[in-house]
Amino acid sequence: MRRRLSFVLAVVLAGSAALGQERFRKSPPVPDRLPELSLPKIDSIRLSNGLTVAVIYLKNCPFICAQLTILAGERDSPESLPGLAGFTAEMVSRGTPLVSASDIEERLEEIGGAFSATATLDYSRLSLVFLDEYLDRALETVSLMALRPDFSDKEVAGLRFTQRYEMLQEERNPEFIGRRQLLRVLFGNHPYRKGMFSQDVFRNIRRRDVLDFYQRFYRPNNAIVVLAGDLNLTAAARKVSRYFSTWREGEVLRQPTPPPAAIERERLCLVDLPRAKDATLFVGNLVFPIDDPDFFPFLVLNQALGGTPNSRLFMNLRESKEYAHFAFSEVDLYRSSGVFSIRARVIPSACYSAVQEILGEIDRIGREKVTTFELEQAKSYLIGNFPLQVGRLEAMTQRVSEIMTFSLGEAFWSKFYDSLMLVDADSVLGVGAKYLRSPSVVVIVGDKSALAEYLREFPRIEVYDVKGGLLYTMLKGVEE
Amino acid sequence: MSKKLLGAVVLLALAGGLGSPAAAAQDEPALPFPVTSYALKNGLRVILSEDDSLPIVSVVLAYRAGSLREQPGKTGLAYLLEHLMMFNGSLNVGPMQHIGYINRVGGEPNASTTAELTYFYETVPSNQLGLVLWLESDRMRTLEIDAAKAERWKQSLLDDLAQRTAAEPYLESSLAFDRLLFPEFMHHHGILGKEEDIRNLTPGDIADFYVGHYTPNNAVLVIAGDISLPRARELTDRYFETIPPGRDVPPPPAPRPPQKKSLVQMFPESLAPYPAFYLGYRVAPPYSADYYGLAVLDYFLLKGRTSRLTRRLIKKDKLAFFLDGGLEKRGDVAALKIFATSNTQSSADLCQKAILSEIGKLRLGPVPEEELDRAKNVLKRDYVGRFSSTLDRAMFLAEMYFSPVGLENAARELGRYLAVTPAGLQNVCIRYLMPENCIIMNVKMR
């Protein structure tokens, strides 16, 4: 026993076995042979109207997942109407001139369907998971939604109310508020910033705006259908063609998006969330677009730094310093750029120290090689975790949709292991130095009056309200 | 397969391929995956389910150690033990190492506590099954309860409780409503525990609860995924068979039959941003004959976008902007609960009347077959979804094993839900959703 008996009570079911335990209990077993990973094949075809159809064959799967991706996201929303891409995706399921929104809902639930619509910064996605005996009915309903939406004033008004209410709920969540503020600062005036809207935007969206967005981007030659389930390409493509062949192709003009401007100075923002008990921290940097070859070494870097509880951030901020409830890092990649961010919930009194530790860890991983142990541990996690990532139907379908949307190729699918195996400590240091030596943006979400005494050590803080409005700037804890 | 193995393994014949020897059994429904089960000498039940579609395996070790087993003054013990066992270490595994070992191989560990059970579970690459069983067996054999670390975890739970109390505006009223609906302590106290109880828990309390509940004869071990049956048997024997059984764990006392008495109460909620109310009925025990009709009724009324109450209250009459609830089971008792929030008090009052009126209509006549079929298909989707990953499947099998249904009847369950008719739905409404059985709590903003 490692500690003094007076402090430790080891509760032992096995009684004397604690002293004379079997040898195999003392250390972890040697693993069996690493199993082969055989991922389902992706077959695809392009229909005559330009619609791309891909099929993932999953034997004996009781569900089918159908995802329709439209290559237009929040970056394509007009400057005056951020949020329009997501709003349009939601509106698509709200009725056609002949089939009401209620009837669409009934049709979906009659097939055991679970439908969702969302827009990311780059694309919009309609996703339907349903019982596998209903493929025809599912495609018929999705085609009705996607090809003949009505966008009635009544439904637009209803969705405005629902979206505002949902965002009001989100705006109580410090993680939502913190991430949104971080991305607003990182993206500056870049079109991606339009994805970081607040609930006010829904007041201004009208039927004609939704219709205009739809007409500009919802075209078969600007869309991809991915089906995953117990089906084959020929049969599935025939059925998709049957329901989507009347969808007319058209010219789609998307403005190219250059990478966002680099962050030139470190910025620290406080978002005031009255009554928040802890401080939620976000620290972030701009990185690279999704199809950049730096992806794999950076994935390993992220894992070593903050991917899981045995990574540096968690072990330092929570286990060693006891500043944080948790501390993790993640990478979100888009067509034109990417964001590396660290997320931690810390006790208020440790706010300043925790930020310094995080910045110190970012600096360290950009200057020093990860150890061989860390490198192997990170790669082992990523290789072992990959089949778990694709083990769920909707997640697998989404991954394949993204591979096709961004033309990512086999490196992200069947050659994922090979791509990771090539990563070494030098390449990890290389991407650390390349992307993490630039100034970081720090966002703290918390109750400003409760945090006030712990913020004096920061030289300059921009203070924002929950919606993101700048209230004032503090210099050494004093309002400017 | 060795002779010993053949002798000990009980093939449940639940699935095609594992054999359905008797002709009479051919019409029996089967789970859509194979299941094999056996017991170790110490009473640990092991359930195996093969699936080689991906090279991963999920392990669930479930103990009958939920909040139902806690005594007055000792609430929060099951939830605290879940955290201590996840993070604190055991004889051969240091603090945080359990998670570290699993993460290092790409696996995902987790745990959860319900009223009935505490689950520990991991999904890992299938060549790491031995590692998971080594880790799980170590924390079943021993648990290191470091007084300082136990204090730290108590504080963490208290922080969690404070955070949730601050962030969830209807948490207090929800607990108060549970006390009305489930009058007995064992059913109504929250899994998170009470603040004063958590503060007063001693290392002795923790040790007693651990020794009394986290034993092989009070657990089920489920392994689902890319496994070989002989290898899985060899590994479960090696790591678990020599762990001595614990004392028999007596079942919780039988619940008293609920009083048929309507009740309307008011609860002032300090954080409530909108007027709200709870409405509930104590209903038939879980998995009893009437339970299946009640489960379908839950879907008919509340689940999905086209459910009867969602349609009327949220979409048509716009009397509520949030509606939640469903059939909730806690050990041997169950209740149907509904919670709604409205913009104004008058809307909330009208909303409540509308719910009672809709329930009244259900008692008067059968519902349209088409509407019922839709509800059953949404239920079927959710039910089949419980088999959709190796982890979901392992959790499902663990729950079935401990339920009154048992593993041997699990395959018949879905059919029981889908067999509910409009007349059956009306019958359960008449039996359980009567005005004299209705409990209402109105939440007033302070």
**Percentage of chain B lying above the pLDDT 70 cut:** 94
B258 within domain boundaries: no
Which of these three, B240, B275, B304, is where a domain ends?
B240
Residue A221, amino acid: N
**Quick one: average pLDDT of A138-146?**
97
Task: Copy the structure tokens of residue B35.
Answer: 């299941």
B273 and B228 assigned to the same domain: no
B83 and B169 assigned to the same domain: yes
Min Cα distance A251 → chain B (Å) is: 36
B303 within domain boundaries: yes
Helices assigned H by DSSP within B9-128: 77-87, 97-104
**Residue B92: C-alpha distances to residues A15, A28, A428, B95, B236 (Å):** 15, 9, 33, 10, 18
B210 within domain boundaries: yes
Question: ipTM of this model?
Answer: 0.87
Interface-testing mutation among A8, A13, A61, A168, with chain B (most B C-beta atoms within 10 A): A13
Look at residue A8 and tell me whether its pLDDT is greater than 70. Answer: no
Confidence band of A75 (pLDDT split at 50, 70, 90): very high
B204 and B269 assigned to the same domain: no
- Chain A residues with CB-CB distance to B138 below 8 A: 25
Domain holding B296, by residue range, is: 263-445
Q: Quickly list DSSP for B416-446.
A: HHHT--HHHHHHHHHHH--GGGEEEEEEEE-
Min Cα distance B437 → chain A (Å) is: 31
B230 and B276 assigned to the same domain: no
Strands A114-119 and A124-131: antiparallel
Element (H, E) at B197: helix B195-200
Place of tokens 């599935």: A236
User: How many Å apart are CA B127 and CA B138, to the nearest integer?
Assistant: 19
B335 and B370 assigned to the same domain: yes
B165 within domain boundaries: yes
Confidence band of B8 (pLDDT split at 50, 70, 90): very low
Which of these three, B208, B240, B272, is where a domain ends?
B240
User: How many Å apart are CA B19 and CA B17, to the nearest integer?
Assistant: 5
**Do you know the residue count of chain B?**
446
B233 and B378 assigned to the same domain: no
Write out pLDDT tens, residues A246-302: 999 999 998 888 999 999 999 999 999 998 889 999 999 999 999 999 999 999 999
**Quick one: average pLDDT of B73-82?**
96
In contact, B222 and B236? CB cutoff 8 Å: no
B226 and B271 assigned to the same domain: no
- Chain B residues with CB-CB distance to A7 below 8 A: 146-148
User: How many Å apart are CA A392 and CA A56, to the nearest integer?
Assistant: 13
Write out pLDDT tens, residues B371-392: 999 999 999 999 999 988 999 9
Element (H, E) at A329: strand A324-333
Instruction: Select the residue of A18, A278, A381 nearest B104 (Cβ to Cβ).
Output: A381
B182 within domain boundaries: yes
What is the CATH classification number for the domain harbouring B21?
3.30.830.10
Which phi and psi angles does A79 have, rounded to 5°? -55, -35
B324 within domain boundaries: yes
- Number of folded domains that form chain B: 2
In contact, A110 and A170? CB cutoff 8 Å: no
Which of these three, B184, B208, B240, is where a domain ends?
B240
Q: What are the structural domains, with CATH classification, of chain A?
A: 42-244 (3.30.830.10), 267-402+420-479 (3.30.830.10)
B274 and B403 assigned to the same domain: yes
B251 within domain boundaries: no
Closest CA to A466 of A160, A239, A213, A198: A198
Min Cα distance B148 → chain A (Å) is: 7
Q: b or e along A368-386 (b: 16 or more beta carbons within 10 Å of the residue's beta carbon)?
A: eebeeebbebbbbbbbbbb
In contact, A255 and A191? CB cutoff 8 Å: yes
Look at residue B3 and tell me whether its pLDDT is greater than 50. Answer: no
B17 and B148 assigned to the same domain: yes
Which phi and psi angles does A6 have, rounded to 5°? -65, -20
Using a CB–CB cutoff of 8 Å, tell me whether A33 touches chain B: yes
**Quick one: average pLDDT of A355-373?**
97
Mean of the per-residue pLDDT values for chain B?
91
B363 and B434 assigned to the same domain: yes
* DSSP-assigned letter for residue A224: E
Min Cα distance A450 → chain B (Å) is: 15
User: How many Å apart are CA A392 and CA B122, to the nearest integer?
Assistant: 15
Confidence at residue B266, expressed as pLDDT on a 0 to 100 scale: 95
B272 and B321 assigned to the same domain: yes
Confidence at residue B150, expressed as pLDDT on a 0 to 100 scale: 85
Write out pLDDT tens, residues B177-226: 999 999 999 999 999 999 999 999 999 999 999 999 999 999 999 999 99
B252 within domain boundaries: no
Confidence at residue B11, expressed as pLDDT on a 0 to 100 scale: 36
Instruction: Select the residue of A13, A22, A105 nearest B306 (Cβ to Cβ).
Output: A105
Write out pLDDT tens, residues B341-382: 999 999 999 999 999 999 999 999 999 999 999 999 999 999
Burial of B349 (0-12, 13-18, 19+ CB in 10 A): middle
Interface-testing mutation among A6, A9, A63, with chain B (most B C-beta atoms within 10 A): A9
B228 and B268 assigned to the same domain: no
